[in-house]
Amino acid sequence: MSKLLSSRPLYEEVADQLRSRIFAHHLAPGAWIDEQSLAKEFGISRTPMREAIKVLAAEGL
């Protein structure tokens, strides 16, 4: 998340990172995600994290 300005919403950037972790087997598909801990790890508030998780849930991940 080192970009100062991005043309994409933050939640999409976070969803991409989480998706990559799932595909790399660092997170299991359908596993419980600690929203608060991940938000802290990414240095973001819970709102974009929550939106990113909704995107992944809609994709069935």
What would the pLDDT profile of 17-38 be if each residue is shown by its tens digit? Answer: 999 999 999 988 888 889 999 9
**All structural domains of the chain with their residue ranges:** 10-58
Beta strands in 1-61 (DSSP E): none
Query: Per residue in 45-55, pLDDT tens?
Result: 999 999 999 99
Give pLDDT, residue 37: 94
Q: What burial class does residue 6 get, using C-beta atoms within 10 Å of its C-beta: 0-12 exposed, 13-18 middle, 19+ buried?
A: exposed
- Other C-beta atoms lying within 10 Å of the C-beta of residue 48: 18
